[in-house]
Amino acid sequence: MRSTIIHSDHSRFLSYLLAAALVVAGPVAVGFAGTANAAVNRINSSAVPDPPVFDGSCGFQTMKASTRTEKFTEEAGRGRTEGITLYTYEYSFRDVYTDPDTGEVLFVARGKGKVKDTKAKPLGGGLFQITTKDTGQHMIVEDGNGRVRGHDSGSHTFNYVIDQNGNFVQFLSERIPGPKPQSMCKMVGSFLGTGSSARLTAHPLGSEPTSPLGYYEYLPPGYGSGEKKPLLLFFHGFGQSGDGSADQLPNLLTDSNIPAYINSDNWPADRPFVVLAPQHNPVQDIAYPYEDCDGENFIGSCWMTKQHGYGNPASGSQCMRPQEVVAFLEFALANYDVDPSRVYVTGLSCGAYGIWEALPQLGGRVAAAVPIAGYGLPIWKSAGCAVGSVPIWAFHGEADDIVDPEGSSLTIANLRNECPAPPAADDLQLTTYEGVDHNAWDRAYSGYGGNDIYSWMLRHTSG
């Protein structure tokens, strides 16, 4: 779930500054301003390259080597703003992405900018309105030959409210003049990609009268030519949630996930799937509280356990509901020219929870399932071996602090060891990643370590 909270490039800069503020200024909850503890304090970092690390955020495998410089300055407010701290953060970066097999440079992302608290307005009652500006050329993308292929620049302005201790109270507004910023992966897709975005269509809620949810549709080359295509249903994480409207459906294109890969032109044309990605709306209901999950070591596991205990209600479910998984599957089979024996489901975090919960109902209807960073223990405890009625390949990061990794590992172990007729080895698999946090999907969806989930799914048929 955590990775679904921060989507855009600009939000990444905000979180990056916050990390610096936490190191230097103590417990500032959110935002830049905090309690003044020094007149001026400057922290500088040198340009030291980080060792290359795996990166699959665009949907394909790369190794990323980063060089960054930072200068962080805090200054005490004066006059009416005395008692709070204003921050300035200057940065530059250069990230080189290479092919992990050949070492060839695929593309370079670089940028620089300044994020500065430009105004603090007292509101009374110990509250302050902060105006923060982010200026500079935030992202330039070059191809492997050094040719600039895309850039994002301009001034972004944010307004929000903090209390006198620097704790976030309320977000007020964001202003980004000029064209909407493009993601790095979209820029990369313009010269390395496949053009897959041209085959992606939004279907807001209500545009398809029989669809229970708003969704995105990807139709592969050759669809409608007489050959029935396999169907892949993707279920998103909490941060891509929305009401399915034309305004909120694009939340599905943020972060790293299958609809985002398609939208950035990085989905291979030879993957034969019709891909449908519905959107869940986490409507709040006071009858189903989640507040006591705050502060839990695995807040996502807590949410999912509670939702299961509440019976996955139509109003009050944080994550995708199993009823939605089944209903959307029925809609897809009735409205798309697909092979009913080659239907597959995958999802991450909240979406993976919905898959786990639906598995006892999917036997014979789905050929295989790939839940990533989900929590299967609640449905295991209530449905037992019926969870294994569909071939499963589960993925999880061993350092996940949002959803307990045992939600995948222990569920798979139970299916192997507690069931009288456990699925065959190829029909029940678990892959965990050492040192990886909640985002296990970049690796799973890009085939890290030779784990090709797409070929694995296509080996399975139902019925």
Q: Where are the domains of the chain?
A: 2-184, 193-458
- The span from the CA of 143 to the CA of 91, in Å, is 22
Q: Distance from first CA to last CA of the chain, Å, rounded?
A: 34
For tokens 């008692």, what's the residue?
83
Which CATH code for domain 193-458?
A: 3.40.50.1820
For tokens 């969806």, what's the residue?
445
Number of CB atoms found within 10 A of residue 382's CB:
13
For tokens 């949810």, what's the residue?
213
| Structure tokens, 243 | 């009401």
Cα radius of gyration rounded to whole Å, the chain:
23
pLDDT of the chain, 463 residues: tens digit per residue: 433 222 233 233 344 444 433 322 222 323 344 444 444 556 666 666 788 999 999 999 999 999 988 888 888 888 888 878 888 989 899 999 999 999 999 999 999 999 999 999 999 998 999 999 988 888 999 999 999 999 886 788 989 999 888 888 999 998 887 767 788 999 999 999 999 999 999 999 999 999 999 999 999 999 988 899 999 999 999 999 999 999 999 999 988 899 999 999 999 999 999 999 999 999 989 999 999 998 889 999 999 999 999 999 999 999 999 999 999 999 999 999 999 999 999 999 999 999 999 999 999 999 999 999 999 999 999 999 999 999 999 999 999 999 999 999 999 999 999 999 888 888 999 999 999 999 999 999 999 999 999 999 999 999 7
Kindly report the backbone phi and psi dihedral angles of residue 123, in degrees, each rounded to the nearest multiple of 5, phi listed first.
-110, -5
Which secondary-structure segment (H or E) carries 311? none
- The span from the CA of 179 to the CA of 127, in Å, is 33
- The span from the CA of 228 to the CA of 272, in Å, is 10
Q: What is the pTM of this model?
A: 0.87
Residues forming a β-bridge with 357: none
- Angle separating helix axes 350-362 and 299-309, nearest 10 degrees: 40
Q: Does residue 456 contact residue 368 with C-beta atoms inside 8 Å?
A: yes
CA dihedral 22, 23, 24, 25 (to 10 degrees): 30
For tokens 């999880």, what's the residue?
396
| Structure tokens, 436 | 């990886």
Return the DSSP state at 426.
G
For tokens 């698999």, what's the residue?
429
